[in-house]
Every structure is written in C-alpha cells, then in structure tokens.
Amino acid sequence: MKKIGVFTSGGDAPGMNAAVRAVVRTCIYNNIVPFGIFEGYKGLIEGDIKELSSRDVSNIIQRGGTILRSARCKEFHEKEGRQKAFDNIQKFNLDGIVAIGGDGTFTGAKIFNEEHNIPFIGIPGTIDNDLFGTDYCIGYDTALNTVIEAVDKIRDTASSHNRLFMVEVMGRDAGFIALRSGIGVGAEAILVPETPTLIEKLLEKLRNDRTQHKQSMIVIVAEGDETGGALKIAELVKNLCPEFDTKVTILGHIQRGGSPSALDRVLASRLGNAAVNALLEGKTNIMVGVLHRDVSYTPFEKAIKHHQKLNKDLLNLAEVLSYN
C-alpha cells in the first residue's frame, strides 16, 4: 500500500470529517500517500481526486457535513461508469480505498471489488444507525442530541399551552433515533417502523394522560412509521379526538447537521485509523465497526443484508417509563 483514496457517500453524518482526518493522518503516519475523492463515486468516475496533506484535514474534526462532499451517481450503477472509475484509480495509482457511508455505499464497493479487484474498506456513517456489525454508526449520537435539544424546547411551549405535539424524526426504515430520543425526552409515546402502530391504543394512552392533568404530551414518530408519519397521525388524532390541541413538528435535515459530539468524534477517529490498518493487513470487502467497545470487521455482504434490530429491552423501558 503506497496510495490510499478516501471518500464519503450517501447522506452526510456528523463525524464524517473526523473519519476523513483519521484516515489521512494514519496514512501519513505509515508513509502512505492519502488521496481525497470528491463527491463519492461521482468523483471516482470524473477523476475529481486530490492528494491530501495533514494540513488539508486540520481544523475539521469539529465540523459537521463532509469536506469531501457527497452525491448520488446513477452512472456508477452501469458497468461503463464503473470502468471509468477503475481507469481513474489506475491513473492515480490508488492501491486501496476507504468508503465512508451506508449500505448503498458498501453495495457499490462490493460490486466494484468483484469486477476490478480493488481493495475496499467501509466505515459506517449514517445517523440511522441501522448497519449490522457495529453498535454505533458515525453521526448517530450527534443526531440524537440534536433531537433531544429540539424536543426539550418543544416541551417548553407544549407545557405553556397544554398541547399535544407530534414530532417526526428521521428513520425511513429504522426507529433507532425515535426510540432513544423518545426515552431521552420522556415522550408519552414512540412510534417506529419495526412495531405496529395501533391508533386506538395511542388514543387511549393520550386520553388517560389528559385525565391525569398532564400539561404537555409529546409523541415521537419515525418518518417511516407504517401509518404515514407525523402529519398523517396528527390528522387521525384531530379527527378522532378534536379536544386535543394537536401540533406537528418535522425536524427534518437539522438532524444531519451540526458539530459532532465527543462520542462521534472518537468513534470516527477509531474507525478511520482501523480502516487504514485493515488495508495494510490485506483485508478487503469489509466494514470496520465497534462491537462491545472493540474494533470489529464485518463482510460487506453481511453488513448489507442484515440490519441491526431495535433493542427489545429499550422498547419495554419506553413503555414502562411512559406509564401514567
């Protein structure tokens, strides 16, 4: 290994810059030349590749987003596009690549490796935290703290006006953000894609809370909830329980931004370092993660096909603590 490329792909996540920094500086420490690939697979195809120095990654560990940027690339789905990417890898003499992203990123890396035999190591960067093979993905902790800070403020106004707030958080296919943030803010109910949403049961819970003279009620809704998200659920509640003063807040992309938490900075630094070391050890087609506090290695195929499951104990805890 003399030259290693690094890129970020998919949705941005706080801590991606910290991971890029760790990859670059670990390369330099091992006398390897690091290259930044801009806008993910699009940059590979277009040759938007640049050698990075230690100074290029100075003062980025605290920044959200990604200095390498990210983009969707339909051309990479075609064999001709992947051939262009391979030609540019040869042009820059890259011996291996670190890909920071989610399952779509790793799927592309796996296919590319099978076609062109370029070593790839993946780093899990997604606020959804749904990748198999790691306890936490980069960005998840920061997103949680962003949600909790926002909902704490919503609770203030909800209490002032005796209101019910439906707060929608990200999680199209997974309820990790909803579950942990819901517990963290003391939500009256948490609705996630992994469990069925029973409207009548929800209404019964809310009515009971109101009879207990609760001054505010918060329902956390993952955007991928089967009922259709916070707006749809609020509409149902308004129709069936017009006595509730029901409001909706969709937090949206605010959850992706912001300065990464200490946990995300340290996690990203560990995984960036581990990814380079994995390439030096001859590993390929794997995702580096952290399981039970130790660095772990999971084949792309397994990380892509399997998804981390919600902790049943946390689901039970949420129900117990919201009991009135």
Catalytic annotation, pick one of 48, 128, 141, 264: 128
- β-partners of residue 97 are 5, 120
Backbone torsions φ then ψ of 165, nearest 5 degrees: -110, 130
Instruction: Give the amino acid at 259.
Output: S
Q: Are 124 and 131 in contact (CB under 8 A)?
A: yes
Is residue 56 annotated as part of the catalytic site, yes or no?
A: no
Give dist(CA 164, CA 154) in Å, integer: 10
Q: Which two tokens stand for residue 14?
A: 């706080």
- The backbone torsions φ and ψ at residue 59, rounded to the nearest 5 degrees and listed phi first, read 60, 35
Q: Could you tell me if 154 and 165 are in contact, meaning their C-beta atoms sit under 8 angstroms apart?
A: yes
Which DSSP string do the residues of 202-224 spell out, in sequence order? HHHHHHHHHHTT-S-EEEEEETT
Cα dihedral 5→10→13→18 (10° resolution): 0
Please list the active-site residues: 128
